[in-house]
Amino acid sequence: MNHNGVAHEDVVIRLFPYTFQGSAGSWYFSLPVGSIRNWDTFHEVFLAKFGDDRTIASLINDISNLKANSDERIKDFNSRFNKLLNKIRVASKHIVDVQIEWYISSLPSNIAIFIDRANRDTLVKNMKETLSIERRIIALEKRSQIDERK
């Protein structure tokens, strides 16, 4: 990567903004050209926009007490769960088993029992299984409504 005087770090820094998704990407690319000249400025401005000043203990308390709303789709809940989980610094994140326990205990009981029995080993696999179960429950509810009309 050191072709024509270009160091590896130069390439990484130029590609870094393209790793942003959603509102972070929109925010970054809407900044005036040249408004961020160094890493310290970026760090300060980014945290001011997207940071969370709550303590780790407060965030862990929030995620361990999180519950899916009765009318909330699993896709939306998963997003809400991940957003909160991602606010916990990596060094403070609990092991995967604890994250899975937080997730399962936050689900409606009619879904949580099936997810617990499925015994998936990653949070992502549990989330995918939850989406699948929700689809099956919705299909069964629709079939039941059709049968009732007959």
Which one is predicted more confidently, 59 or 126? 126
pLDDT of amino acid 106 = 97
Rounded distance between C-alpha atoms, residue 130 and residue 115, angstroms: 6
pLDDT tens digit string along 116-149?
999 999 999 999 999 999 999 999 999 988 888 8
pLDDT of amino acid 123 = 93
Q: For residues 133 and 113, is the Cβ–Cβ distance under 8 A?
A: no
Q: For residues 92 and 130, is the Cβ–Cβ distance under 8 A?
A: no
Structure tokens at 89: 């610094």
Q: What percent of the chain has pLDDT over 70?
A: 88
In angstroms, how far is the first alpha carbon of the chain from the final one?
Answer: 69
Question: What does pTM read for this prediction?
Answer: 0.62
Q: Grade residue 68 by pLDDT with cuts at 50, 70 and 90.
A: very high
Whether the pLDDT of residue 45 is over 90: the answer is no
Q: For residues 126 and 103, is the Cβ–Cβ distance under 8 A?
A: yes
List, in order, residues 6 or more apart from 67 with CB less than 8 Å away. 106
- Section 98-127 average pLDDT: 95
Structure tokens at 91: 């060094």
Rounded distance between C-alpha atoms, residue 136 and residue 53, angstroms: 40
Rounded distance between C-alpha atoms, residue 126 and residue 73, angstroms: 15
